[in-house]
Each structure stands twice: as C-alpha cells, then as structure tokens.
Structure 1
Amino acid sequence: MISSLRIRLMLAATVLAVLFMLALLPAMQGAFSLALQDAIEQRLASDVTTLISAARVENNRLQMPAQLPDERFNLADGRLLGYIYNREGRLVWRSKDTLEENINYTPRYDGHGNEFARIREANGKEFFVYDVEVKLLGGKSAAFSFVALQPLRDYETTLEGLRENLYLGFGAALLVLLALLWIGLTWGLQALRRLSQELDEIESGARDSLSEQHPSELLRLTGSLNRLLHGEREQRSRYRDSLDDLAHSLKTPLTVLQGVSEDMALRPADRDQAWVLQSQIERMSQQIGYQLQRASLRKSGLVRHQVRLRPVLQSLCDTLDKVYRDKQVRVNLDLPEPCYVPIEQGALLEMLGNLLENAYRLCLGEVRVSVRQTLGGIELCVEDDGPGVPPDQRARILQRGERLDRQHPGQGIGLAVVKDIIESYSAKLTLDDSPLGGAAFRIQIPVV
C-alpha cells in the first residue's frame, strides 16, 4: 500500500498520460501516413505533368525528346520511374531508371482521367502508381497513359523515421509533463504539508489550535479539529475539577471515620473492631486514589508528549533515598543523552514512582534503570537484585489487589496503576528475570 498521496496522484496521472498517448499515437501515425501519401501523390502528379509537357505526337506516333526537362528522368539512378503506354496497353516509352525494374503494370482506360493506387508485384515489391489518361491532339487513336511510380520502401522508410521521431517526442513530452505534474502537485499539496506541520506543533505542545490560513477546501476540516481540541481541553479541565471536588468531598468523611477508629482503639474491648475499621478505611483511601489516578492519567488523543527522563528519575530517586536511607540503595542510570519518553509527565511520575518504590523496597542494595532503542520505539527497564518473582506468579501480581509481599502495608494497586498507564499509551509491560538477580520490569513504548 502506497502511503504518500503525492506518489498516488503521480502514479494515477502517469497511467492516464501513458494511456492517452498510446491512444493518440495511432491517430497521429494515421494522419502522418495520409499526409505523406498526399505528398507522394502530388509529387507523382508533378512527374506525370513533366512527361506530358514533353510528349509530342507525329503521325499518331509518340515522340519523346532525348533529354527531358527534369534531369532526374535522364539519369539511370535518378529514382524517377516513368512509363507511357498506348491505347492498347503496349509500353511505348520508359525512363532510364526503369531499366533495372521489371514492373508488370497494365493501365486502365476507364475514362476517369487519372488514378492513384498501390500495386504489388509478384516478387513482393510494392509501388505507388499515378496513372493519367491523355488524348493528344484530340484523336482517339492518339490516346496514351502516362504513368509515374515510386517504390513503397521510400514511403515506409520515411514513415518509420516519422514514427521514431514521434515516439521520441512523445517520450520527451511525457517526461516534461510528469516533471510539471510533480511540481504542480508539490505546490498544490503545500497546504496539506502546512496542516501536517501545525498538527505536529499541536502534538508537541507548541500551539493550541490550527490556523485559518488554509485553502477553503480544508477550512471545514481545520474547524472540526479545532472544535475537537477545544472540547478535549474543556473535558480534561472538567475531569480535573470533578476529581478535585470528589477528593475533597471524600476527604472529610474519611478523616471523621479515621478519628472514630482511633477513639475505638483506645478502648480494649473495641480494639479488634477499630483495627478492622482502620484497615477498611485505608483500603477505601487507596482504592479511591487508584480510581482517581486511572481517570486523570489518561493519554491525550491529539497531544504528543516528550518528557526528559533523567530529571524525573533523579527526583524520584532522591525522594526514595530518603525513605529507604537505611538500605543505602545504589542506583545505576544507564540512559542515552538526550533521552525523552513520549508519556505525559504526571503519568510518567506515577508509573516510575510505583516501579522504583517496589524496586527499592524489595532490592538487597542495587537498582538499575536503563533505556535502549528498539525497532519500533524504546524499551525502559527497571531492575533490582532482590528475590525476584516466580514465573507462575508474574501474571497474577499485575492484577489489581494482588501482592506477593505481605510484610509491608498496601493493597497491591501500584502495579495495576502502572499497567493501566502503560496500556493507555499503547505500550507493553513484561516481567522477566534480571541479571542482577531480581525482577526486571520491561516497558516497550512505541514512538509514533
């Protein structure tokens, strides 16, 4: 499938131009052939006129001068074939050049005066013939047929030359036409190229909407895209406002319930119920946070993000170093420079924060983050030297609420959040063994 619109149009124009020229060639060749035959007829008629003007009849006998007015009739290689026949069809005179030709031609006396025809001899040679019936001095017994001939090979040679020139001319015209078409299409498609550039600027965040400096045929499209962009921004704004309102409205009831559970925990008889209440409050808080994150970290449909990875990783590692300062974790960042990731910054922080927090929590003392280029994009890998994940448990821990580590608090939603973010960007998450000895979370991010 050809993806370029300009190449498609060029191919279509080329096919149409070639078909048109192939259809035009026979017509032009036919016109050239008719024009050439007319020229041959006029030339033969002129030769016959020369013979008639030189002919004399004395005592009903044809008399021709030794030297004709046209010198070509007087030369053996003059290529002028002239014959004169009497009324009975007997040859009475022939030009010198006919001595080498054995032509069996019989004139017709049908009263039409002249005839232009094409004859074929027994030996395969073909000739154009111009035959004029003349009655000299008005006597019936002095009627003669003046004949001029031209070999068909001369006509065919001339026509072949014209045909070759026609092919060369049409080929050159086709090349010039295609060059002009390419220039015209390049100029005509500049509007689409400018529209594509503006869309790239919107995806990169350099502009908010498409301009109105486009051809009238594209204004409806650009207007629809601008309305779509405006509607998306308003929807995302309403999303954020609604999420903020929801978080604020749930914060107060949860705080009240947390206070009640703390009061209950002070009474020994209610300590078990307080522990159950506190665990459920914690579960509700984490589930609410998880759902808010899922809703707020969705990929935009039209905006393409490019976030530099190293500052984000350094900021997260600085924070986690303080949280896990007793472990003295060594972090190795194996990143090319510059290294950009096509994910919105908030989503990138949430995703890497969960992966690095798991790596810090489970590692023995070393964590490695690496990025490498792949055929379809980039691969981001977070590894640790911890206990790793058994192969039969890898699919389960990516599900919401599933955890292998039961020694630390939490509801097992961190990796589920990571998976949701990755899927929203059409990326892929795989879990393997790391050369460090622990788990390796590999994220395949396509680059469009």
Structure 2
Amino acid sequence: MKLSVKSLPKALHSLKARLIVSALLLILILMPLIGFTLNDAFKQQVKSASLNELKAYVYAVLAVTEVNTGGLSMPEVLLENQFNVIQSGLYAAITTPNTAVITGKSSNEFDAKFVENPQTLLYDRNSNSTGTQKIAWRSDSLLGIELPSQLPTPKKGQGQFSDITFNGQPHLIYSFSVSFELPATTDDDKHFNSQFPITIHIIKDQTEFQLQVDQFTQQLWRWLTILMGLLLVIQMTWLWWTLKPLSSLETELNAIENGKTNQLSDDYPTELQAVAQQLNTLLSTEQNQRKRYRNALADLAHSLKTPLAVIQSQTDLSSESFEQVSHINRIIGHQLKRAQSAAGSAWHLGIPVVSISDKLVRNLPKIYCQPLITIEQNVDRDAIFKGDESDLSEILGNLLDNACKAASSKVLLSVIHNTENVSAETLVLQVEDDGSGVDETLKAQIFERGIRADSYKVGHGIGLAIVRDLVDSYHGQLSIAQSTQLGGAMFTISFKY
C-alpha cells in the first residue's frame, strides 16, 4: 500500500514534525522496552541467586538428616541460626508421602503395616498429615505457623523452585526429594528394598527478594527517565542544528517573496547548495526576461502612439475618424498595461501596500478639490501585495480614481491582511464611496466576459476594466456591493496566497 503525503495528518506534512515525531517514538518506545528488559533480567538474576541460596540450605539440612530403624532423626539446633528463630523468615520442613503408616513398639522396634506399596515404609511418630503428605519434621522457625495443605513434591533426585503464599505473605520455596534406604532388622526385611522417601522444603520470605527488585526498579526508572530527558534534549538540539539550513532557506524565500531581497545566499550545505544556485538562476532569468519584455512593450507602445498622435494632429481629420483613433489609442494603452502585468511570474515580489496607498491618498485629493473629496484609509501597515508595484498602483489608483469621481465628499480605503492561516494567507482591498452606487444591472455585466467596462456611468469607466483584468491575472476575486458605512459603491478585491 503506497503512503502519500496527502493521506498523512496535516500536522505531519512538515518534515520537521515528522523527524520530531520519529525521535519521540524512538525514545518513548525504545527506552521503556530497555527498562522492562533490564528489570526482568535483574529479577531473574535475583531469583537465580535466591534459588542457589535455597539449594545450599537444602544440602545443609540434608547433611544433618538421618534415618534409622527408629525413624527420622534431626538435630535440635541447626547450623543456620535463622532456622532456630521463631518466624525468622527462613523455614525448613520435611514431608513424607502419606502411603503407609508405621507405628513403633518402642524406640528400637517397629512393625510395618503396608497400605499400598510394601516396599515403602513411612515413619509416623511425632508427625501430622497434610492431605497426601505427612510433615515429618519442621524447623523451630515454623513454630506457630500453619503450613499449606499441599507442598510441592518433585520426583526423587529432582528439585522444584516456585512461589508460595502462607501466613499471609508471599514466599519462595525450593523442594528437593530424596530417598533413604532403611536398614533390615529381620531376615524377612532383607527380601525387600525398603526405602524412606522424604522431601526437604526450604521456604524463604520474599520481602528481601522483593526489596532488592523494588530498589533496582526505582533506580532503573529514575535513571531511564533522566536519560530519556537528556536524549530528548540532545535529539531536539540535533534536529534544530540539522534543520537549521532549511529554516534559513525558508526565511530567505519569504524575504524574496516579500520583496526584501532578490537572491539567496550561498551559505548552505552541499545537499542544498545546488538547489540555492538553481533558484538564484531562475530568479535572475525571470527578472531579466520580464525586464526585456516590458522594454519591448514600451518600445511597441511608443512606436504605435507616435503615428497615432500624428494622425490625431491632422486638421482635416473627421470627428468620426478622430473618435476611432482615440478609441484605438485607449485599446492599445489598456492591452499594453494588461500585457505588462507581472502576475503569474512575480511570486518573488513583495510590495508593502502602504507604499502605494499613502502616495495615492496624499495626491488624489489635490486633483479632486472641486468639490473637495476626503480620502480616509484603514490600512494594515504590515500588509504585503505579492506582485508587481506597477500592478498594485494600477489597481488601487483606478479604484480610488473611480471612487473619487463617483463620490460626493468621502472615500474610504481599507486593507486587511490575514496571516493567521499560513496555508491560506489573504489580502483584501476595499474601496468605498458615498456616491449613488452602481446599478444592479451593471454589477452583473461587469463580471461577464465580452462586456466592456468603459460603457459604464461616470466614475466606473475603462479603469475598472484594467482592474478586472489585473485581478484575474493574479487569480483574485473582484466583487461590487453597496457600502453599509458610506452608502455608495463598495469594490472588494481579495487575493489568496
């Protein structure tokens, strides 16, 4: 399945955002995974050490265990002192299978009553039963503690390590099964291979084990958290340093787009050096081509207007011919201005709107002084027109000129620059007057192709046709409505960048 950029969330369209998310995922997934792995490995290591410790205790108990005709014989005090201290946390017990019962006639004599296996003899004196097992001996540390009803019973010669809960606390238990051969006391006993199977159980409180694990877990996650924070800072610093050339390129492109500079610098890494050089070549070529194009059009306009001026100066020229020559002159001027527009090729140009609007607002009232026309302006001083200066001058000049012709006393110029949405930056130019407005029928005709704007009433002549063509060339929108503030016509032009 092919993953396209459009299918990604909007926030991940940024290369910087993708790298940041990748770094965060790497840290937030890899580090906890390492933490869980190390914690589990340490737990297994501690458990293995506990197993070895319990095995050593089993062999120590087994070394002092004796079985004779009198039964199981254990010393009163074991070498490991914790077995002798009541509820010390380290316990030992010996169980035998509950398959046969032996009752002793005296300390040295016994009679066997076989239950299931006549070869298995079990000693019953001073012991209690726990289901299928009989507890033959328990250490003094188990005094006052009731053992579980069923303890592990591995096969002979094998051990079993597991967890067990008794006395309300979790414990570790290691059980090891052995079998002692009973000595024969009579000639009949010699016919049987009499065995005395026992299982030695060493039980240890998990408090110490769990304390080690908890301390290690606490320190592990504390240091992993510090390491994650440190890695995050290093990753962000590394990403900032790595992506800094891209940010510089973006800044310089914005400066070119806003008309603050004409070329990119050459201070870029090897991977971006070729891109910067190609962009500079493209900018220079485009600027030179537009300059040559405008010069050629200016020469053409001059070569056409000179013969037309000569024709117009003829005294014997009829009024109809003079009107047609004037009409041709206007058409040439209009089409040349349209052809000279930099729209579509001036993406790198950026003109502050106030540089044009201030001049127009300052100069037009000098022309329209009878009656006096007041031009007010509400202009965003940071507004940028992304196009050619002469095009902006034509658009604002014609709109304000038409508004002054149609107004009674007041004209309002408003410029709104919306940059909150980077993906949909907008520039709105609005010109209002307090005149009689535009007829509804003419509003519809303005937007119809093939309808000439110079057929409109005074104040909305050929200048509006030039404005409309320039706005169309910049893919803008022109609308005409009634001004709610001044009552006359309101021309609104919006550009999306």
TM-score range relative to shorter protein = 0.7 to 0.9
Structure-2 residue corresponding to 1:386: 435
Once the two structures are superposed, residues 340-377 of structure 1 have per-residue CA deviations (whole angstroms, 9 ceiling, x without a partner) of: 5525332222122222322233333x131332546565
The alpha-carbon deviation at position 23 of structure 1 amounts to 5.2
- Aligned equivalent of 2:358: 311
What corresponds to 1:190 in structure 2?
244
Equivalent residue number for residue 331 of structure 2: 287
Deviation string 1:364-397 (CA, Å, 9 cap, x unpaired) is: 3x13133254656554332333332112211324
- CA gap 1:340/1:20 in 2 versus in 1, 3 angstroms: closer
Question: Paired residue for 1:39, among 43, 49, 54?
Answer: 49
The structure-2 alpha-carbon separation of the partners of 1:161 and 1:116, relative to structure 1 and needing over 3 Å to count, comes to farther
* Secondary structure at the counterpart of residue 395 of structure 1: helix
CA apart distance, 1:72? 0.8
Selected match of 1:95 from 139, 164, 168: 139
Kept in 2: contact 1:397–1:403 (CA 8 A)? no
| Contact 1:355 1:382 survives alignment (8 Å) | yes
Could you tell me which amino acid in structure 1 is paired with residue 84 of structure 2?
N
Listed one character per residue, the Cα deviations across residues 226-257 of structure 1 (whole Å, up to 9, x for unaligned) are: 22212211221121122122113323332343
Contact 1:131 1:145 in 2 (8 A): yes
1:219 to 236, 248, 273: 273
Give the direction of change, closer, same or farther, for the CA distance of 1:356–1:101 in structure 2 (3 Å limit): same
CA deviation string 1:247-280 (max 9, x = no partner): 1332333234334xx3433xxxxxxxx2232222
Q: Which runs of 5+ in 1 are unaligned?
A: 266-273
CA deviation after TM superposition for structure 1 residue 108, in Å: 5.2
CA distance in 2: counterparts of 1:433 and 1:254, whole angstroms: 40
Number of matched pairs: 428
Distance in 1 (CA, whole Å) between partners of 2:406 and 2:413 is 18
Cα offset, 1:288, TM superposition: 1.4
Single out whichever of 54-63 and 175-184 deviates more from structure 2. Answer: 54-63
Question: Superposition pairs for residues 30-429 of structure 1, below 5 Å?
Answer: 30-55=40-65, 63-84=73-94, 91-99=135-143, 100-103=145-148, 104-105=150-151, 107=153, 110=156, 112=157, 114-118=158-162, 127-131=172-176, 133=178, 146-150=200-204, 170-259=224-313, 262-265=314-317, 274-299=318-343, 300-307=346-353, 308-317=355-364, 321-322=366-367, 324-325=368-369, 327-336=370-379, 338=381, 340-342=383-385, 344-364=388-408, 366-371=409-414, 373=416, 375=418, 377=426, 379-397=428-446, 401-405=452-456, 412-429=461-478
SS in structure 2 opposite 1:189?
Answer: helix
CA contact (8 A) 2:297 2:336 kept: yes
CA separation in 2, counterparts of 1:109 and 1:397? 103
Contact 2:175 2:199 in 1 (8 A): no
> Partner letter of residue 146 of structure 2?
E
Q: Which amino acid counterpart does residue 161 of structure 2 have in structure 1?
A: A
Q: Distance in 2 between matches of 1:316 and 1:39?
A: 95
Q: Match of 2:429, SS?
A: strand
Deviates more, 1:293-302 or 1:172-181: 172-181
Does the CA contact (< 8 Å) of 2:154 and 2:175 recur in 1?
A: no
Instruction: Tell me, in whole angstroms, the C-alpha distance in 1 between the residues paired with 2:19 and 2:207.
Output: 44
In structure 1, what residue type is equivalent to 2:279?
L
Q: Which amino acid aligns with 1:313?
A: L
Cα 1:219–1:378 shift into 2, 3 Å: closer
Q: CA contact under 8 A between 1:48 and 1:132: conserved in structure 2?
A: no
Secondary structure (helix, strand or coil) at the match of 1:335 reads: strand
Q: State the Cα distance separating 1:179 from its structure 2 match.
A: 3.2
Normalising by structure 1, we get a TM-score of: 0.79
Counterpart contact for 2:88–2:141, Cα < 8 Å? yes
What is the DSSP-based 3-state SS (H/G/I as helix, E as strand, rest coil) of the residue aligned with 1:297?
A: coil
CA gap 1:312/1:89 in 2 versus in 1, 3 angstroms: farther
Query: Judging changes above 3 Å, is the alpha-carbon distance between structure 1 residues 290 and 389 closer, same or farther for their aligned structure 2 residues?
Result: same
**Rounded Cα–Cα distance in structure 1 between residues aligned with 2:155 and 2:391:** 105
1:113-160 deviation digits (Å, cap 9, x = unpaired): x52333769999875314264879x99979865432336787678657
In 2 relative to 1, CA 205–64 (structure 1 residues): closer, same or farther, beyond 3 Å? same
| Offset of residue 38 of structure 1 | 0.7
Q: Partners of 1:339 and 1:146 in 2: how far apart?
A: 89
Residue 116 of structure 2 aligns with which residue?
Answer: none
Structure 1 counterpart SS, 2:281: helix
Distance 1:336 1:286, change over 3 A: closer
What is the CA–CA distance in structure 2 between the aligned matches of 1:204 and 1:93, rounded to whole Å?
A: 94
TM-score, normalising length: structure 2: 0.72
Structure 2 residue ranges without an equivalent (≥5): 1-9, 97-119, 124-134, 185-193, 420-425
Give the superposition deviation at 1:401.
2.1
Deviation, 1:185, is 1.4
Q: Deviations over 1:142-196 (max 9, x none)?
A: 9865432336787678657766765665555444433332222122211111111
AA in 2 matched with 1:116 = Q
Whole-angstrom CA distance in 2 between matches of 1:80 and 1:123: 13
Counterpart position of 1:271: none
Query: Cα distance, 1:93 vs. partner?
Result: 2.9
Instruction: Report deviation, 1:69.
Output: 2.4
Identity %: 27
Helix, strand or coil: the match of 2:239?
Answer: helix
Structure ranking higher in helix proportion: 1
| Deviation, structure 1 residue 421 | 2.4
